[in-house]
Structure formats: structure tokens, C-alpha cells
Amino acid sequence: MTSLQPAAVLWDMDGTIVDTEPYWMRAETLLVESFGGTWSHEDALGLVGQGLWHSARRLQARGVTLTEDEIIQGLTRSVMEQIRIAVPWRPGAMELLAALRKAGIPTALVTMSLRNLAELVVESMGFAAFDAIVSGDDVTHSKPHPEPYLRGAELLGVPIADCVAIEDSEPGLASAVASGAVSIGVPHVVPIPESDGHTLWPTLAGRTIDDLTGVFTAARNGTPTTGDAESHTPTRNAP
């Protein structure tokens, strides 16, 4: 079987490149409590991977008497303040991004966070990690709708079917799969069920371009790759 290298790799951000979910959860909790309500860890888990406007409506339903835009801007400011103190990189993400850049494989960031937050994370990387950014304020339909990933491929000028997408949440992975990208789930805060429609990896630590090529080749040749997560042993751990 001839190996097929993806034309581009599309990356989710929160939970995939940076472990910002605890930052979002803290911001949500403080916001709801400031209006006299309560917000549990289970409540917060229900928003992982969802679009910000969907999240804002959920928070309104819990007693937050602000507009959707006010909620989104407030949460984003809180997360940005926390990132400026410490950027919680996910294991293996920076190394794989750097390898893709060195190999000249185009990359796009596809996040439902606002652009100012996405740009803050990208600037913190220390190298030009992405050729394009798709943020939550760039699309009409947020994940799990396929529009964000379709937009990412469009900005890179490549067919979505020639792309690999990397996600950490079920809504995000649903978006990637629906777009037609070869999709890899790397579960973090919430589990992702196994499916013939995507591959699951337990971590990005030790993952290489050859691993991405293997998943892409198998998918395009109709070979199931779901079990790959169990068979791969990382070659090293990220710092």
C-alpha cells in the first residue's frame, strides 16, 4: 500500500494544543456565582467543545443576566488573563506542529475561541505555527457544524478530503468528520467514543508525521484505524 501524505493538518486549540479547559471552567464558575447561581464541574463539562454562543445561552439559563456578546467577551478576557500568567501546553502538540512546519506541510488553527484569544496562543508558541486561523467569530455555524473545518481547508487552498484534523472533544470531532477530513481524536477532559469514522490516540506525545501519514493512508484506503491508539507506544514524552 503506497503511503499518502496529507496535504494539510487542521488543528483544534482548546484541549488539543493548550489545556485551557480548566481556565474556561473557572471563568464560567466565577461568572455564574457572581449572579448568585451555582455551576458544577459536570455543568462545565457539558460545554467542552461547544461554540461560545451556545455556551453563553446555557449560562444565561443559569441566571447570568448579560447579553451573549458580554458573556463571551468576559469569559475570553478571563481566559486570556490566565494564559498570560501560564500557557498550559498539551503534551506533544508543539513538537508535532514544529515537525509539520519543518516539513513544509500547511497547517490551520480551527478554534471556536475568539480571534484575539487564538492569536495570543499562537504568539506564545515562539514560531510561525500556522498558515491560517479560523476562529469562532469567523464562522456562521460553530462546531459540531462542518463549516469551521471547511473554512480552514478553503483558506489553505486544499481540498478538505486531503486534510487531517486533530480534535479533543466529541463536538469538535463531529465537525471534523462531517467536513470530510480524516479525523483524529485525542480525548482529554471528556471521553470520545470509538467509531469507524475516526481514529483515537491517547496522546500526541511522541507522534510524528509518519503517524499522521499512516492514519491518512489507512483512511483513504478504507482500512479501520480505531485500534491504533492501543498499539502505538510513544517514542518520548513532551516536557
| Counted domains in the chain | 2
Clarify whether residues 14 and 25 are in a common domain: no
pLDDT reported for residue 222: 83
Distance CA 175, CA 142 (A): 9
Q: Any idea what the CATH number is for the domain that residue 144 is in?
A: 3.40.50.1000
User: Does any domain span residue 1?
Assistant: no
User: Does any domain span residue 237?
Assistant: no
pLDDT reported for residue 234: 30
Distance CA 166, CA 169 (A): 10
**109 — phi, psi (to 5°)?**
-95, 125
pLDDT reported for residue 2: 79
User: Does any domain span residue 46?
Assistant: yes
Clarify whether residues 48 and 60 are in a common domain: yes
Range of the domain at 211: 8-19+89-231
Q: Which residue type is seen at 82?
A: Q
Residue 9, H or E segment: strand 8-11
Clarify whether residues 94 and 210 are in a common domain: yes
Q: Any idea what the CATH number is for the domain that residue 29 is in?
A: 1.10.150
Under DSSP, is residue 165 helix (H, G, I), strand (E, B) or coil? strand
Clarify whether residues 205 and 155 are in a common domain: yes
| Inter-CA distances, 225 with 37, 184, 189, 215, Å | 44, 10, 22, 7
Nearest CA to 62 out of 42, 77, 82 is that of: 42
Q: Tell me which of 44, 70, 85 is where a domain ends.
A: 85
pLDDT in tens, 12-69: 999 999 999 899 999 999 999 999 999 999 999 888 877 788 899 999 999 999 999 9
Residues lower than pLDDT 50 in the chain: 226-239
pLDDT reported for residue 9: 98
